[in-house]
Amino acid sequence: MKGIVFVGRSLELIRKFPVEIKREAGHQLDRVQHGLDPMDWKPMASVGQGVREIRIQQEGQWRVIYIAKFDEAIYVLHAFRKKTQKTSKPDIEIAKRALKEIVQRFYK
């Protein structure tokens, strides 16, 4: 089973989610750790190849962006409450920077 590495402020942001949302995010990440897909997800090619977004639709729209293609770990890049139909450019940029940091630090 792969471990989870929270990049940047992603863990801090998830900790600020409401209790039920936090619990659901943890459950979905557990599925990923066991080699399963989250119940509701989509690819995030705008962030990078292999990046996915867990979609939680309770008490609003919540997102956890992660990448699991590396053998060593699952990296959580960003987490946020989605307030519009389209993912905001700042949220995409945060996830891109986190991915770039991982690649530079561990996979160069």
**Alpha-carbon gap, residue 108 to 1, rounded angstroms:** 24
Q: Are 76 and 6 in contact (CB under 8 A)?
A: yes
CATH code of the domain covering residue 93: 3.30.2310.20
Q: Are 53 and 64 in contact (CB under 8 A)?
A: yes
Partners of 16 in the β-ladder: none
**Alpha-carbon gap, residue 97 to 5, rounded angstroms:** 15
Q: Domain total for the chain?
A: 1
Stronger pLDDT, 77 or 105, i.e. the higher one: 77
Q: What is the pTM of this model?
A: 0.95
Show the domain range for 75: 3-106
Report, as an integer, the average pLDDT of 27-32: 98
Taking residue 96's Cβ as centre, other Cβ atoms within 10 Å add up to 18
62-102 per-position pLDDT tens digit: 999 999 999 889 999 999 999 988 999 999 999 999 999 99
**What's the chain's average pLDDT?**
95
